[in-house]
């Protein structure tokens, strides 16, 4: 049996199997070793796996509904190498390409198409590995690997054996193809490759290549992990009212990191108290250690206080506390240096909470000329520091 394939000038002959006792040959479509049945032009050394030969020249991919993907035999760009938007590896053989600069290895396009079509039978024979049970044979590569779908560490959840060629969590294969979300009630959101590189409307982070839930009409996208974050939370440092996930049309400081929100940012918000938390700050670590700047650990304090002992700023905020030293500081002030070099003074200047009354006759700041509040510490030049 022979056939004519668009990628080669000669007819290809069907070969039942390729034994490895003779010279190894590689598929011109996917670049992998040919071991099973294939089509070949032996004279030219051109081989195609049966699956690669049968791949359509044009594909309407469920994860990219806007345009068809065209199968090309070479790099679509005059300069630079195409990178697969599924596995993030260079495309050195056949590539499915879209004019919106979306590219897939032929194997990645076919595999992800099977995921989209929920052809679960194709995944039954791929072993699943539970990282909480199977702790052996974890290579450095696996420790660094991320799921192709959600970009979370692969070892965070049950995943498919890497022998299948893909880094995927088992749960990501089962993601629904279409959802309705309260943040975009006009249209449903479809699981798509983010070819437009849209930022997530909830966390505002720029989207890396991969899957998002997307409305192409409105250019609205959500990260997979952001779809399921809670819409309402209770926090110990704001016990009066729950905090609601919403877009805020004011610029207000986050009560943990003190960074001012942008207009229409999505945050956790109490509209009654004007209390704001960034989504990322809700999961701030309960304990922070930075021995380079402070000898004791800082613990997140479940109350608001009015003064930061590091920067001296007034205003209610959720602090970190060093219970040993009895100081409250902003999260971002934990790493503030305790000893600095100031361009207007020849010696190093140190921060301290304890001063001998005789060490200074005047408690006036030498820079702004305002009175120094000794209870909150002071930066000065002790005799021991030169």
How many percent of the chain have pLDDT more than 90? Answer: 15
Label residue 295 by pLDDT band (50, 70, 90). Answer: confident
Residues 6 or more apart from 130 whose CB is under 8 A from it?
Answer: 158
Q: CA 101, 107, 112: angle at the middle one, nearest 5?
A: 75
Provide the mean pLDDT of the chain.
82
Q: Is the torsion defined by CA of 68, 69, 73, 78 positive or negative?
A: positive
* The pair of three-digit structure tokens given for residue 28, joined into one six-digit string: 């011109």
Contact 380, 372 (CB under 8 A): no
**Measured distance CA(158)–CA(128) in Å, rounded:** 7
Per-residue confidence (pLDDT) for residue 385, from 0 to 100: 38
Using one digit for the tens of pLDDT, what is the confidence trace for 358-371? 555 556 676 676 76
* The pair of three-digit structure tokens given for residue 84, joined into one six-digit string: 């697969």
Give the residue among 252, 253, 257 at the shortest CA–CA distance from 332.
257
Position with higher pLDDT, 313 vs 265: 265
Using one digit for the tens of pLDDT, what is the confidence trace for 102-133? 899 998 898 888 887 776 666 777 788 888 77
- Domains in the chain, ordered, with CATH? 58-116 (3.30.40), 127-173 (no CATH), 178-227 (no CATH), 232-282 (3.30.60), 287-333 (3.30.60), 339-380 (no CATH)
Contact 179, 189 (CB under 8 A): yes
**Measured distance CA(203)–CA(212) in Å, rounded:** 13
- As a whole number, mean pLDDT of residues 269-290 equals 89
Using one digit for the tens of pLDDT, what is the confidence trace for 11-65? 899 887 755 556 788 999 999 888 878 888 888 889 999 889 989 999 988 888 8
Label residue 384 by pLDDT band (50, 70, 90). Answer: very low
Per-residue confidence (pLDDT) for residue 354, from 0 to 100: 61
Cα pseudo-dihedral 3, 6, 9, 14, rounded to 10: -30
Per-residue confidence (pLDDT) for residue 121, from 0 to 100: 66
Per-residue confidence (pLDDT) for residue 386, from 0 to 100: 35
Using one digit for the tens of pLDDT, what is the confidence trace for 239-252? 889 999 988 888 99
203: left (phi over 0), alpha (psi -120 to 50) or beta: alpha
Cα pseudo-dihedral 99, 102, 103, 108, rounded to 10: -130
- As a whole number, mean pLDDT of residues 254-274 equals 88
């Amino acid at each position: 049996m022979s056939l004519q394939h668009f990628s080669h000038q000669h007819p290809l002959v069907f070969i039942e199997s390729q034994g490895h006792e003779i010279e190894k040959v590689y598929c011109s479509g996917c670049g992998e070793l040919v071991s099973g049945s294939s089509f070949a032009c032996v004279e030219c050394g051109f081989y195609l796996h049966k699956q690669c030969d049968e791949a359509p020249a044009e594909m309407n991919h469920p994860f990219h509904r806007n345009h068809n993907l065209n199968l090309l035999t070479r790099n679509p760009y005059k300069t630079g190498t195409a990178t697969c938007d599924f596995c993030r590896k260079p495309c050195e053989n056949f590539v499915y390409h879209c004019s919106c600069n979306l590219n897939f290895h032929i194997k990645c396009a076919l595999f992800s198409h099977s995921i989209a079509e929920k052809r679960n039978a194709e995944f039954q024979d791929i072993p699943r590995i539970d990282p909480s049970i199977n702790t052996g044979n974890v290579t450095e590569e696996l420790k660094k690997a991320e799921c192709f779908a959600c970009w979370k560490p692969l070892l965070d959840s049950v995943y498919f054996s890497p022998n299948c060629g893909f880094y995927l969590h088992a749960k990501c294969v089962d993601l629904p193809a279409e959802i309705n979300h309260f943040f975009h009630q006009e249209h449903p959101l479809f699981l798509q490759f983010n070819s437009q590189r849209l930022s997530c409307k909830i966390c505002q982070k720029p989207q890396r290549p991969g899957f998002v839930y997307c409305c192409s009409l409105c250019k609205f996208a959500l990260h997979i992990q952001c779809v399921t974050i809670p819409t309402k939370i209770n926090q110990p440092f704001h016990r009066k009212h729950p905090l609601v996930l919403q877009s805020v049309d004011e610029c207000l400081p986050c009560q943990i990191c003190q960074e001012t929100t942008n207009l229409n940012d999505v945050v956790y918000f109490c509209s009654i108290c004007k209390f704001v938390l960034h989504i990322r700050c809700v999961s701030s670590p309960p304990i922070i250690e930075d021995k380079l700047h402070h000898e004791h650990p800082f613990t997140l304090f479940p109350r608001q206080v009015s003064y930061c002992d590091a920067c001296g700023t007034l205003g209610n905020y959720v602090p970190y506390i060093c219970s040993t030293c009895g100081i409250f500081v902003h999260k971002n002030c934990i790493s503030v240096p305790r000893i600095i070099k100031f361009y207007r003074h020849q010696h190093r200047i140190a921060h301290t909470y304890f001063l001998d009354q005789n060490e200074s006759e005047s408690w006036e700041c030498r820079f702004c000329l305002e009175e120094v509040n000794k209870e909150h510490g002071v930066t000065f030049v002790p005799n021991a520091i030169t």
